[in-house]
Chains A and B, each alone.
Chain A
Amino acid sequence: MTRTTLAAFATAGVLLVLVPSTGHGQAYTAPRTKSGQPDLNGFWQALNTAHWNLEPHEAAAGPILQLGAAYAVPPGLGVVVDGPIPYKPDALAMRTTYAANALKEDGEIKCYLPGVPRMMYMPYPVQIVQSTDFILMMSEFATAQRTINMTTSDPPPAYTWMGWSNGRWDGDTLVIDSAGFMGSTIGALDPEGAIQVRFLDRAGNYHTDGLHVIERIRRTGPDHLQYEATIEDPNVYTRPWTIRMPLYRRVEPNMQLGEFKCEEFVSDLVYGKYQKGSGR
Chain B
Amino acid sequence: MRMRGILAMAALATSAAAAAAQPSPAPRADAAQGTGAPAYRAPRTPDGYPDLQGFWTNLTYTPFERPRELAAKPFYTEQEAIDFFNRSIAGSQDQIVHYVNGDFGATPVQTGARPNLRTSLVIDPADGRIPPLTPEAQKRQQALLAADKARGPLAQTWRDDRGTLWCVFHDRAVPAVVAPYGSNFHIVQSKDWIVMTYEWNTERRLIALDGRPHARASAPTYAGDSRGHWEGDTLVVETKNFTPKRLFLGSPGTPPATAGSPGLTLVERFTRTADDTVVHTYTVTDPATWTRPWTVELPMHRIKGPMLEYACNENNQDGFAALKNARLEEEGKLAPLESMRRGDAKAAIAEHEEKGAAKVIGAQDKDEAK
Where the two chains meet, the residues of A that have a C-beta atom closer than 8 Å to any C-beta of B are 33-35, 41, 107, 110-113, 127, 129-134, 136, 138, 142-143, 145, 147, 149, 157-158, 160-162, 182, 185-190, 253-254, 256-259, 261, 263-264, 267-268, 271, 274-277, 279
Contacts and interface: CB of A to CB of B under 8 A. Distances in A.
Contacts of A138: 195, 204, 206
B230 to A, nearest CB: 16
B309 A161 contact: yes
A120 to B, nearest CB: 17
A271 B158 contact: yes
B210 to A, nearest CB: 10
A129 B312 CA distance: 24
Most chain B CB within 10 A, of A34, A132, A149, A261, is at A261
Task: Across the A-B interface, give the 7 residue pairs with the lowest CB-CB distance, nearest first.
Answer: A274-B323, A34-B46, A35-B46, A259-B221, A189-B320, A160-B309, A276-B156
7 contacts: A34-B191, A129-B193, A134-B186, A143-B204, A145-B202, A147-B197, A264-B245
Interface in B264-321: 306-309, 311-315, 317, 319-321
A131 B203 contact: no
B157 interface: yes
B342 to A, nearest CB: 24
B308 A157 contact: yes
Contacts of A263: 166-168, 312-313
Contact of A161 (B192, B311, B327): B311
Contacts of A110: 313
Given A160-B309, A185-B315, A188-B320, 17 more contacts: A41-B190, A131-B189, A134-B53, A136-B195, A145-B197, A147-B186, A182-B314, A187-B315, A188-B317, A256-B215, A258-B221, A259-B221, A259-B222, A261-B168, A268-B157, A268-B158, A274-B324
Contacts, number: 133
A68 B46 CA distance: 52
A130 B314 contact: no
Given A254-B212, A259-B221, A279-B157, A143 B202 contact: yes
B156 A113 contact: no
Interface in B31-77: 45-48, 53
Chain B interface category by residue count: 35 or more
A250 B120 CA distance: 45
A199 B45 CA distance: 39
B151 to A, nearest CB: 10
Contacts of B206: 127, 138, 256-257
Most chain A CB within 10 A, of B188, B208, B245, B317, is at B188
Contact of B168 (A149, A186, A264): A264
Given A127-B206, A261-B169, A160 B157 contact: no
Contacts of B202: 143, 145
B236 interface: no
Contacts of B192: 41
Interface majority SS on A: helix, strand, loop or mixed?
A: loop
Contacts of A186: 315
Contacts of B319: 267, 271
Interface in B217-249: 219, 221-223, 245
B198 to A, nearest CB: 10
A138 B314 CA distance: 18
Contacts of A157: 306, 308
B308 A160 contact: yes
B158 A129 contact: no
Nearest to A134: B188
Given A145-B197, A161-B309, A271-B158, A189 B317 contact: yes
Contacts of A127: 193, 206
Contacts of B189: 129, 131
A113 B320 contact: no
Contacts of A274: 320, 323-324, 326-327
B156 A277 contact: yes
A267 B167 CA distance: 10
B190 A190 contact: no
Contacts of B169: 261
A113 B309 contact: yes
Given A143-B203, A257-B206, A264-B168, A275 B156 contact: yes
Contact of A112 (B186, B193, B223, B313): B313
Contact of A267 (B166, B204, B307, B317): B166
Most chain B CB within 10 A, of A147, A187, A258, is at A147
Nearest to B47: A34
B311 A160 contact: yes
B193 to A, nearest CB: 5
Contacts of B193: 41, 127, 129
A83 B188 CA distance: 38
Contacts of B330: 276
A259 B223 contact: yes
A151 to B, nearest CB: 11
A267 B322 CA distance: 13
Contacts of B317: 187-189
Given A147-B306, A189-B317, A136 B323 contact: no
A169 to B, nearest CB: 15
Contacts of B223: 259
Contacts of A182: 311, 314
